[in-house]
Structure 1
């Protein structure tokens, strides 16, 4: 048998085609790599893992382009909305005379602003509201303490965030706050209570212990 004539001197099993031998070597390398990975405590998986969207920054701030020009027959009022788990003020346009000396009219005007769904510009900035759309403000009763506002729901039956929004919004109005507090009652026979909007209320409106409630004698 001559060398170089294409005949294997060691037999067909040892001098087979070069392709299969390369494939076998590559497979062995892959198995060795898998063994190293499993030895390091890392499991391989064929199931795609969805880690969710990348975290986005919530500005809680409106740009100049988001603020529309105020009409001449309106005034600006501050209301509190929820943003990044805190209470943050936004300016709302209300008709003149609605936030003046008429307590009930002012309360209803501010309630309407704080309970309506924020416009697109505020939603993009991260603002939302927890105040229910069906909530109403009714007149005080004959024996209620001065400055009382009666809600269509018991204040304590509202969510902590909704009550905090309403109390802090009303506390910004000189017409609605009495000695720094907001006096609220409900439709039932329970006596009204005075609520305070504190720095803790604004920082943690979801905390059920805020806003602070005071009994009235």
Structure 2
């Protein structure tokens, strides 16, 4: 016995395929794998301070990498606060030690990392350098751009950066290296925080009082 409606159903299927093709939609007989949904990291550490939270020490802010951007993290340094007060070099040394250290477990879970690798030290400027100059044990321009961006923004928004002459609200820092090259002023901008892999804005250090 022949069933009615079979030909009609097939015709509807053909018509549907034609309509989909006319709308610019390609039909497929296999599932399409669009890949995993992009993961999102919180870029936020619970609590006021990470690392040595709840312990004594100097509260400091450093800039770490998270989600391809620079994000601030509050930490505590073992350096006693009274020893860092009024001493930009001590403050810079404590900040650099925090930047070169491995992120804590809670920081890693939040998506934080650092491009600043040791050995790397910081000291005072030389005679003839502008006051407030900090000299790294490596030439700043020889560092990876992301590492230099972390150092510049971390120093610039600390007492180390505010001590530099001509600073505008602690948004820049004068850095040099171990070589005979003149130090330069490096600026921490909003664009740099969003794209730390780009070149750090710099300019010749402003003339002013010299380091003794």
TM-score higher than 0.5: yes
Match of 1:94 among 54, 77, 87: 77
* 1:52-84 Cα distance to aligned partner (Å, 9 max, x none): 333555543333398564213x12111112345
* 1:128-186 Cα distance to aligned partner (Å, 9 max, x none): 3332x135125457445143333233212333332222112112332453223422112
Is 1:60 aligned to residue 43 of structure 2? yes
Superposed CA RMSD: 3.3
Quote the residue 2:135 is aligned against: 150
* 1:5-33 Cα distance to aligned partner (Å, 9 max, x none): xxxxxxxxxxxx335x6655543432232
For structure 2, the 5+ residue unaligned runs are 208-212
Q: Is the alpha carbon distance of 1:193 and 1:65 closer, same or farther for their aligned partners in structure 2, counting shifts above 3 Å?
A: closer
Name the CA distance, whole Å, in 1 between partners of 2:2 and 2:47: 71
The answer as to whether partners of 1:197 and 1:212 remain within 8 angstroms in 2 is no
Quote the residue 1:169 is aligned against: 154
Name the CA distance, whole Å, in 2 between partners of 1:204 and 1:211: 12
Match of 1:178 among 153, 164, 167: 164
3-state secondary structure, aligned to 1:61 = coil
**Offset of residue 206 of structure 1:** 3.9
Judge which range, 104-113 or 164-173, deviates more: 104-113
The answer as to whether partners of 2:152 and 2:186 remain within 8 angstroms in 1 is yes
Q: Is the alpha carbon distance of 1:116 and 1:42 closer, same or farther for their aligned partners in structure 2, counting shifts above 3 Å?
A: same
Is 1:196 aligned to residue 179 of structure 2? no
Name the CA distance, whole Å, in 1 between partners of 2:104 and 2:182: 36
Match of 2:120 among 119, 127, 136: 136
